Chains A and B, each alone.
Chain A
């Protein structure tokens, strides 16, 4: 009966470890959340005749938002409502800016974002390479070295010829810009 509580406790522990710089915990958190987000968005979208690809776009958008805005999570609070608020915000924003506004998507359902889990991923329509190409070169390189090739910040700083803190700032800004670019893509 207490699976919800157990889930919350487990995910929150992963979140807090991730906030302290634990990459494995962060990966485990994002991976677990992606299943819940997928089930949530598919439930909302596919029922009204939209493809699973659109749901996957939203899963990725929400994951980006969760990652780039994780400094807005207050460790003293529950994690589930924070994740749900982001998931719901991204859904509403998506519906407002996607062409088929009229489709009847039930947003106000009390369905909890953690209620179901769906691991059957499809590919999203988002193209990381194309999105990266929109960023300024310094920012793009910082993300490529640190986040894709997995170089340390020190190595990336040496390759770019800038300071370590500049690399960190570029990565952070770049991910936020990517997040924004995805949202803008939708608005078109």
Chain B
């Protein structure tokens, strides 16, 4: 085939194109993923029942705040990366800020507590539940987000997949936070932070396979 023939085909009956749709689809997928994750979390795990306790409520706010920060920063860069060349002018290391912040707070909280408490502060009562719940709840939002990214055209598949995993992990952390009763900063840093990083790595690996176009 001659290239001019192809150009003829492509430029016959050219339709108007909506360039905002890519971002709108992605935003919709992220919000939709969040709603689905919240429904899953509420239906399967439920909400913690000690919310009248101000300390419990404070920790709920902190965990949700951490998750929301991860989602917002991750989404910002995901929206860029979904378009060709989006990776060229993005400084994605900004997405690590919530992790660094929560680790710093965790460090302060460990230093100011007696060493005999450290074990419980780090492991909590239900670290296994957290370790399993966050990646499992993240599956559905991840699938929805990847579906939206596939309609765009990322040119750095690993990074884009990683960002999709990061956002899905953040969403899942928000949903799990409603149920989780392990109230310590080191626990949030290790188990919330760790599982979200796990989702990010999985996203990077899957992205290279699922996002090809």
Measured CB to CB, the residues of A under 8 A from B are 18-24, 26-27, 30-31, 34, 38, 56, 59-60, 63-65, 67, 69-75, 81-82, 84-86, 88-89, 93, 121, 123-124, 126-128, 143, 146-148, 150, 152-153, 168, 171-172, 175, 179-180, 183
B19 in contact with A31 (CB, 8 Å):
no
CA distance A15 to B10 in the complex (A): 13
| CB < 8 Å neighbour of A152 from B2, B13, B21, B212 | B13
The size of the chain B interface, using a CB distance under 8 A, is 33
| CB < 8 Å neighbour of B152 from A19, A24, A72, A88 | A72
- Is chain A's interface secondary structure helix, strand, loop, or mixed overall? helix
| CB < 8 Å neighbour of B7 from A27, A69, A168, A183 | A27
What are the residues of chain B within 8 A of A180 when measuring CB–CB? 213
B6 in contact with A70 (CB, 8 Å):
no
Q: Which of B77-85, B136-144, B182-190, B199-207 contacts A (4 or more CB under 8 A)?
A: B77-85
The reply on B9 being an interface residue by CB < 8 A is: yes
B84 in contact with A85 (CB, 8 Å):
yes
B3 in contact with A147 (CB, 8 Å):
no
What are the residues of chain A within 8 A of B88 when measuring CB–CB? 81, 85
The digit string for B1-38, where 1 denotes a CB below 8 A from any CB of A, is 11111111111111111110110000000000000000
A121 in contact with B2 (CB, 8 Å):
yes
Query: Which residue on B lies nearest to A28, using beta carbons?
Result: B11
B83 in contact with A73 (CB, 8 Å):
yes
What are the residues of chain B within 8 A of A18 when measuring CB–CB? 14
Q: Contacts A71-B21, A180-B213 given: A121-B12 contact, CB under 8 Å?
A: no
Q: Contacts A124-B3, A180-B213 given: A21-B10 contact, CB under 8 Å?
A: no
The reply on B47 being an interface residue by CB < 8 A is: no
For the complex of A and B, list the 5 residue pairs with the smallest distance between their C-beta atoms, beginning with the closest.
A85-B85, A27-B11, A85-B84, A21-B16, A89-B155
What are the residues of chain B within 8 A of A22 when measuring CB–CB? 14
A69 in contact with B10 (CB, 8 Å):
no
What are the residues of chain A within 8 A of B82 when measuring CB–CB? 72
Complex A-B: 16 CB contacts under 8 Å: A20-B16, A21-B16, A26-B10, A30-B10, A30-B11, A31-B7, A59-B3, A71-B19, A72-B82, A72-B84, A128-B9, A143-B9, A147-B12, A148-B12, A175-B10, A179-B213
CA distance A56 to B1 in the complex (A): 9
B18 in contact with A71 (CB, 8 Å):
yes
What are the residues of chain B within 8 A of A89 when measuring CB–CB? 84, 155
Query: Which residue on A lies nearest to B82, using beta carbons?
Result: A72
What are the residues of chain A within 8 A of B212 when measuring CB–CB? 93, 183
What are the residues of chain B within 8 A of A59 when measuring CB–CB? 3
The reply on B68 being an interface residue by CB < 8 A is: no
B83 in contact with A74 (CB, 8 Å):
yes
| CB < 8 Å neighbour of B3 from A60, A81, A93, A152 | A60
Query: Which residue on B lies nearest to A156, using beta carbons?
Result: B13
A147 in contact with B84 (CB, 8 Å):
no
The reply on B153 being an interface residue by CB < 8 A is: yes
Q: Chain A CB within 10 Å — which of B19, B21, B82, B89 has the most?
A: B19
What are the residues of chain A within 8 A of B15 when measuring CB–CB? 21, 168, 171-172
What are the residues of chain B within 8 A of A152 when measuring CB–CB? 13
A64 in contact with B11 (CB, 8 Å):
no
Min CB distance B119 to A, Å, is 48
Query: Which residue on A lies nearest to B89, using beta carbons?
Result: A81
Min CB distance A108 to B, Å, is 13
